[in-house]
Structure 1
Amino acid sequence: MVVLIVCMTQGLALLFAKIKQPRVIAEVVGGILLGPTAFGRIPNFSATVFPPQSLPYLSLVANIGLCLFMFVTGMEVDLAVFRRNAKKSIVISAAGMLLPFAVGVGVAVPVYHKFVNPGDASFGLFLLFIGVAISITAFPVLCRILTELNLLDTHVGITTLSAAVVDDVTAWILLALTVTLINASDGLTALWILLTCVGWILFIVFPIKWGYLWLARRSGSLGNGTPTPSMMTVTMLLVFVSSFFTDVIGVHAIFGAFIAGLIVPRDNGFSISLLEKIEDLVSILFLPLYFTLSGLKTDLGLLNDGTAWGYTFLVIAVAFLGKFVGCALPARLMGFNNREAGAIGMLMSCKGLVELIVLNIGLSAGILDTKVFSMFVMMAVILTFITSPCTILIYPEHAREHVSPNKSSSETPVNRTRRRSTSNTTGPISLMTRFTVVLSKVEHLPAVMTLTQFLQPPQTISSTMSKAHLIGYSDEKVDVLDPNSQAISPLAGNLPVLSDGTPRVSIDALRLIELTERTSAVMKGTGSEELMHRDTVISVMRTFGHLNRIPVSSVLSIVPRDSFSSSVTSHARETNADLVVIPWNLAPSTLEDTPQMTSGVVPQNPFDTIFGGRSAGADKTTTMNYSQFIRRVFAESPSDVALFIDRGLSPLETNTTYGQHIFLPFSGGPDDRLALAFMDSKKSKLALQT
C-alpha cells in the first residue's frame, strides 16, 4: 500500500513539475486516481489494495503526518512579514475574507437544499463551514508559488505574503470555532470549549514559548542554528502534547500542532534547520498517505448529471471571483496598478493543501456528504491548478518591479550599456570596470579571489588630498603619503582614489542557491534578507572586497537549478556588467556536502582533455549539470562571459613576489581579443609582454 501510494505521487509530481504545478496537485490527483473515481472501478482493486480492515491504521498514520505538517505550517508563518506591511495586509486580508465568506454563504444555501439531507447536517453549521472553506488561502502552497515565480522581492509578493499570513491565522481561528460548535451539545459547552482553547493558546504562546527559548539558548541550539537531539525530542513532545490536548477538549489535533509551530524561533536559521530534519519524512511518506485517504473518500463518479456539474462550476466561479475581487479591488484602491492588483487577487485565490484538510474535517464531522465533498475537492484542485499560469499571464516578467530586499550594495548604480563582443566588433574594446561573479558554492571563492585581486590597480593617492588625512592603525597615527609607512589600514577603502580619474573597478557577486521541492528551501526564499547576512559565501566575498578596496555588491538568488542561467543573464542585464565571470572548480568538493563516489567512477568533464587532470571524486551528475549551466550562460548572456578554471593551486604554488606569469595563446577572434584586452587593461596589475 505504501509503495504504491509513494510511487504514484512521486511519478505524478515529476509530470506536473514540467508544467510548473505545485506538488500538492500531484498528491491530490494521485489520491483521487487510487480511489473509487478511477482505479477503484477495477474489480477487486480496492478490496485487495485498500482492504477495509487496514483503513483505520492508514488513518492513524496519516493523521500523525497531518499533525507534523500543521506544525511545519506554523513554522512557516512569519509574523515579522505581517508587521512590516501591516496596513495593506489587514485591508487586503479583511476584504479577501469577508467577500468570499459572504458569497460562500450565499452559494451554500442552494447547495444545502439541493444535495444535503437536513437531518444529517445543521443548516447554520453548513453555511458557516462553507463560508470558511471558500474564504481560505493556502499559505504553504502560496509560499512555494511566490518563490518559484520569483515574486518574493516584488511589491506584489511582499504584500500577498503578508496578507496570506493574516488570512491563514484568521481562517484557522474560524475553523476552530466551527469545529467547536459542531462538537458541542449546547451553547454553554461550546463556550467552555472555546475558552479552554484560548487558554491553551495563551499558555503555549507565553510560558511555554519562554521556556522553549531558554532551553534552546541553554543547549546551544539557538546560537549554532542547529537543534540538538535533546532539543528535537522536546520539540516533538511539544507537538504531540499540544495536539493531544486540543483534540481532547473537542477542537482538533491539528490546531495544537499549528500553535506549537508558531512558537519556534526563526533566529539564526534555527527553524530552517529543525525543518530540514523532519520535512522529507512528512512530504514523501505522511502527506501522500493522508491525501490518498482523502482520495478514497472522493468519488467524482457521483457527479453524474448536469445539475451536479452545474453546481460544481458555480462553486468554482463563486470561490474564485469572491477571492479575486475581494483582494484585487482593495489592492487597486491602495495604489497598485491593474496588473499588480490582478496578480494579488489571483495569488490569494489559491487553495491547495489547507483547503483539502478543511474539507476532510467537514466530511469527518458529517457536515459534508461524499457528493458535496467531491464538488469542493474539484474546486480546490482547479483553483490551485490555474494559480501559477494565470499569475504569469496577468503579471509577466517585464511588468514586475523588484524591490530587491536581498541585495546589499556599497555603490550607486550606473546606467550605461555595453554590447557583447562578437566577430563583427571592430576597434578597441572599452575599459572593463564592472564585473559580475557567479558563486554557487564555497569552493568557488578561491578562484574568484584569485582573479579579482588583479582587477584593482595599485592604489595611488591624489595630489589634491591633504596630508592631514591620517589613518589610525594599531593605536598609531600613520601618514598615508609617507612611502615608508608600513601600517596603512586595509579598511580605509574609501580614501584612496585613482590618480588618472578612471572609474574604480566594482564587483557584483551573484550568490545562487538551488530552490528544491523542500519546504526549508521555500523558507530560505521567504527569509532571503536574513540569509544574506549569515551566508558564509557572501560574507567572505564582501570582506575580501573590503580588504582589497574593491566595492562589492551582493545579490542572493534562490531559484530552481534550471533557472540558474536565466538568473545570471537577467542580473548581468540589470547591472550592465562588462564581464560575467563563472568559476569552475575541478578539485573534489571538501567544504560542502556533496555525494561521494567510488574511485572506480570517472566523471566526464569536457575540459579534462584540454587542461589535464581529472576531477576525481566529483559527482558526475553535478559536473554535467554545471557544464550545461555554463553553456546556457554563454549562449544567452548579453555581456561577455569568462570561464575561470580553478585547478586547485594553493598560494604556495604560485610565486607572487614579482607578480604573476600568465601565458596567453593568441590566434585572433573575439574571444582572444577580449582576453588580451582584459590583460592589457591599464587598470590591471598584470604586466603584459608580447
Structure 2
Amino acid sequence: MSDPKVLNATIPNKMVLIFLSTRAVYVLLRPLHQTTIMAQIIGGALMGPSLLREIPLFPMGSRYVLRTFAEFGMILHAFVLGVQIDLGLVKHIRKRAVIIGITSTLLPLVFGLSSFRIVQRISHLDDETASSIAASVVVNSMTSLVVITGLLKELKMLNSELGRLAASITIVSHIFGWSARFLLPVFCAISGIRMELYLINEKSFIKIEFIILMSYLGKFTGVMVPSLFFGMSFLKASCLALIMCCRGIAEIAVYCMWKDRKIITNQIFAILITNMVIITGISTTIVGYFYDPSRRYKLDVRRAICKSKQNSLRILVCIHKEQNVNPLISLLEVSNPTRNSPIAAFVLQLMELKGSVTAFLKPHHQQTKREAASSTQLINAFSQFQRCYYGNVVVQHFTTIAPYATMHDDVCTLALDKRVVIIIVPFHKQWGVGGMLESTDLSIRALNRNVLHKAPCSVGILVHRGQNKSNRPVYTGELLYHIVMLFIGGADDREALAYSRRMAEHPNTSLTVVWFITTDQNRPSTEMPDDHELDNQAFDEFKDSMVGNKIIFREEIVKDGIGTTQVIQAFTETFDLFIVGKNHDPCSKATLGLSEWIEYPELGILGDTLVNSNDEFSVLVVQQQPKESRHELKSIQ
C-alpha cells in the first residue's frame, strides 16, 4: 500500500508535470495550428504507458486521485458551457445550415452502420467489440457546439463567414445529439494517459479502423455535398467539412464515461482517441493553412475618398465605449453633411465576447431587447445627431460581439458589404480632463492594427485628447472649428487632403494646410514613380476648388525631422483637430531622424509626434493603402 502522505505530496507534482509537458507540446505544435486540447491529449499519451510502459510515471494510486480532480474540472467546464449556450440562436438559423446540419448527422450514421454491417458479415466480431463499435459510430455522427466554437476561436475564425456557418450547423447537430482552465488540461491529459496502445489487437484493428473512418467519411460527405449544392466554393466547402469532422472535449468525456462503464473496450477507447487526435490535427492544419477569412474583403486597390466619384460619404465608425461617442459625432459633423453631399454613417458597436460561445454581427433592429440594452444611449446620441441634420445624414446601427483577436473580420466585412470609403476607429488610449491619461487597452490596439492591415478601404484612427472644445457641436456656429492638415506627400497624405477638402466646405470650419517642402526633390524616390506628380495634381485641384478666406496655405521648407517638429510645435492650442497621413516616404528628409523615437507605429511618424505633445487637440491619422500593398502596386507597374 502506498503511504497516503507520500501520495498526497506527489499529486501537485504530477499536476505541474502535466501542465509543463502539455504546454511544451502545444508550443511545438502551434505552427501546425493545433488546438490546446490536442496538445493536452498528446502530452498525456507521451507520459502514459503507451510510451513509458516500463516507467510507471503515473501509477494507479495517483491516477485515481488525478481523475477525481480532472472530472471535477470537467463538471465545472460543462456547467460554464451550459450557461454560455444561447438556444435562442436556433430561431435565427437559416435553411442552408439546417440542411447541412441534418445531413452531417445522418450520413455518418448511414456510412458507419452500413460499414459495420458489412464487416460483420465478412468477418464476425465478438459481441463486446461489436457493441463498442456501434456506440462509437453514434458518437462520431454527432458534432458538439462547444467543441467547434472552441476550435474556431483558437483558429481565429469564430466570427468569419465560415465560422458562423459552422456554429449554426453545430447547433442543429447539437439538437440531434445531446443537449476552469485549471483542471480541464488534467482531464484531457489523463485521457491521453489512459490510452493503452499496446492493447490494440492487429487482427481486429483494421476492421474497427475501417468502420470509424467510414463514419468520418460520412461526416465529411454530409457537409461537403450540400455545401456545394448551396453554391459554396470547393475550398470553403472542404474547409467547412474538415471543421465539422473535428472532435474535442465533449467526445473525450463520452469516451471516458463509456470506458468506465464498460460500454466500450480499452482497445476501442485507444483507437477512438488516436483517430480523434490524428483527424482533428490534420483538419486544423489544413484549414489553418488554406482558409484565410480576410481573403473575402481584401481588395487590390482599396476604396478611398479621393477616388470616390460620388458626392456622398459612406463612413463606418467603430465604438467601444460611451466616451467614443461625442468625438465621433463631432468628426461626422465637420465632415459637412449637406443635401448635395450627404453622409451615410454606419455605427458599429464593438463588444468583446464574454459569457457566450457564439459570436454575432447584427443590425440593431434584429437584436433582442436584452442584446440591445447596452446600446440605448449610443443609439439615442446618434439619433439626435441624425435629427439635427435631417435629410443630410442617414445612420444605421450594428453590434458585433466577438473576440478581439478576430473582431477586425466583422469591421472589414461590414465595410465591404456597405461599400464604405473610410473606417474610423478610436485610438486605444483614452485621455481625460487636463490631458491626463485615463485608460489603455492593448486589445483595442491590436484590433486597430489588424483593421489597418486588412481593411478594404481607407482607415482613420481618431485620437481624442481629453474633454476639450472639439467636443462642442459644430452646427451651433458659435465658434469656428479649426483644422490643420499636415502634408508631406504620398497616398495617405492625398487621402487626408481629400478628407480635409470636404471638411473645409463646412460653413463653421477653418482649415490650415501646411505643406512641408524639402531640399531633396531630385533624389531617387522609394515611392511609386509618379508620386510627386500625383501630390502636385492633388494640391492643384484642392486650390482650384477651395476658394475662400477660411483656407490658409503654408509652405514650410525643412531640412530634417527636427525642422518638421519645430514647425508643428509652433502651432498654438487654438486648433481643434490635426489631420495627417500615416505612411510617408522613409527616405524623405521631412521625417529624417524621427522614426527612431516612434512609440505608436500605427499612427505613423507625424501622428506619433502629435500625440506625444502636451497639447489637447485631437488627431486623425488617415491611411489609404498599407505599405505592403503599396509596394505590390509598385512592382506591378
Shorter chain as denominator, the TM-score bin is 0.5 to 0.7
Residue 320 of structure 2, aligned match among 437, 440, 457: 440
For 1:504, the equivalent position in structure 2 comes to 342
Paired amino acid for 2:261: A
Matched, 1:353 2:190: no
Residue 324 of structure 1, aligned match among 220, 226, 238: 220
For 1:678, the equivalent position in structure 2 comes to 499
Matched, 1:63 2:71: yes
* Aligned 8 A contact 1:108 1:130 in 2: no
Looking at structure 1, the residues matched to 264 and 413 of structure 2 have their Cα atoms a distance apart, in angstroms, of: 49
For 2:138, the equivalent position in structure 1 comes to 132
For 2:331, the equivalent position in structure 1 comes to 451
The CA deviation string for residues 655-684 of structure 1, in whole angstroms up to 9 with x for no partner, is: 976224425164553555544543442256
Q: Aligned runs of 1:119-198 on 2, under 5 Å?
A: 122=128, 125-146=131-152, 150=157, 154=161, 160-172=166-178
The CA deviation string for residues 539-580 of structure 1, in whole angstroms up to 9 with x for no partner, is: 444322221123222344445544455654554444333333
* Aligned 8 A contact 1:16 1:23 in 2: no
Secondary structure of 1:523 counterpart: coil
Shift of 1:373: 1.5
Shift of 1:379: 1.3
Shift of 1:356: 1.5
Looking at structure 2, the residues matched to 124 and 37 of structure 1 have their Cα atoms a distance apart, in angstroms, of: 24
* Aligned 8 A contact 1:456 1:683 in 2: yes
Secondary structure of 1:453 counterpart: helix
For 1:544, the equivalent position in structure 2 comes to 381
The CA deviation string for residues 221-279 of structure 1, in whole angstroms up to 9 with x for no partner, is: xxxxxxxxxxxxxxxxxxxxxxxxxxxxxxxxxxxxx6xxxxxxxxxxxxxxxxxxxxx
* TM-score in terms of structure 2 length: 0.62
* Aligned 8 A contact 1:581 1:644 in 2: yes
Secondary structure of 1:451 counterpart: helix
Shift of 1:390: 4.5
For 1:267, the equivalent position in structure 2 comes to none
Matched, 1:580 2:423: yes
Paired amino acid for 2:15: V
Secondary structure of 1:576 counterpart: coil
Looking at structure 2, the residues matched to 554 and 314 of structure 1 have their Cα atoms a distance apart, in angstroms, of: 52
* Aligned 8 A contact 1:136 1:355 in 2: no
Looking at structure 2, the residues matched to 389 and 674 of structure 1 have their Cα atoms a distance apart, in angstroms, of: 40
Matched, 1:659 2:494: no
Shift of 1:107: 4.8
For 1:602, the equivalent position in structure 2 comes to none
Between the two proteins, the alignment pairs up a number of residues equal to 483
For 2:19, the equivalent position in structure 1 comes to 6
* TM-score in terms of structure 1 length: 0.58
Q: Aligned runs of 1:169-568 on 2, under 5 Å?
A: 169-172=175-178, 281=180, 284-302=181-199, 310=206, 314-315=210-211, 317-330=213-226, 342=238, 344-391=240-287, 397=293, 418-419=303-304, 433-457=313-337, 498=338, 501-514=339-352, 520-525=355-360, 530=367, 534=371, 538-549=375-386, 550-564=393-407, 568=411
Paired amino acid for 2:462: F
Range that drifts further, 656-665 or 330-339: 330-339
Shift of 1:310: 4.7
Looking at structure 1, the residues matched to 346 and 186 of structure 2 have their Cα atoms a distance apart, in angstroms, of: 46
Looking at structure 1, the residues matched to 430 and 165 of structure 2 have their Cα atoms a distance apart, in angstroms, of: 44
Paired amino acid for 1:23: T
* Aligned 8 A contact 2:38 2:281 in 1: yes
Looking at structure 1, the residues matched to 327 and 130 of structure 2 have their Cα atoms a distance apart, in angstroms, of: 68
The CA deviation string for residues 441-492 of structure 1, in whole angstroms up to 9 with x for no partner, is: 44433332332232344xxxxxxxxxxxxxxxxxxxxxxxxxxxxxxxxxxx
Paired amino acid for 2:192: G
Range that drifts further, 529-538 or 445-454: 529-538
Closer, same or farther: CA 669–14 of 1 in aligned 2, 3 Å: same
Looking at structure 2, the residues matched to 544 and 633 of structure 1 have their Cα atoms a distance apart, in angstroms, of: 25
Paired amino acid for 2:334: F
Looking at structure 2, the residues matched to 297 and 116 of structure 1 have their Cα atoms a distance apart, in angstroms, of: 28
Closer, same or farther: CA 80–574 of 1 in aligned 2, 3 Å: closer
Residue ranges of structure 1 left out of the alignment (5+ in a row): 173-257, 259-280, 402-415, 458-497, 591-611
For 1:103, the equivalent position in structure 2 comes to 111
Residue ranges of structure 2 left out of the alignment (5+ in a row): 1-13, 387-392, 512-549, 553-637
* Aligned 8 A contact 1:445 1:537 in 2: no
* Aligned 8 A contact 1:417 1:576 in 2: no
Looking at structure 2, the residues matched to 363 and 525 of structure 1 have their Cα atoms a distance apart, in angstroms, of: 38
Shift of 1:25: 1.8
Secondary structure of 2:334 counterpart: coil
Looking at structure 1, the residues matched to 220 and 36 of structure 2 have their Cα atoms a distance apart, in angstroms, of: 23
Looking at structure 2, the residues matched to 554 and 15 of structure 1 have their Cα atoms a distance apart, in angstroms, of: 43
Shift of 1:319: 2.5
CA RMSD of aligned residues (A): 4.5
Closer, same or farther: CA 99–524 of 1 in aligned 2, 3 Å: closer
Paired amino acid for 1:63: E
The structure with the largest strand share of the pair is 2
Looking at structure 2, the residues matched to 448 and 539 of structure 1 have their Cα atoms a distance apart, in angstroms, of: 17
Looking at structure 1, the residues matched to 123 and 189 of structure 2 have their Cα atoms a distance apart, in angstroms, of: 25
Percent identity (aligned): 22
Greater length-normalized contact order (CA 8 Å, ≥ 6 residues apart)? 1
Looking at structure 1, the residues matched to 324 and 31 of structure 2 have their Cα atoms a distance apart, in angstroms, of: 30
* Aligned 8 A contact 1:443 1:585 in 2: no
For 1:199, the equivalent position in structure 2 comes to none
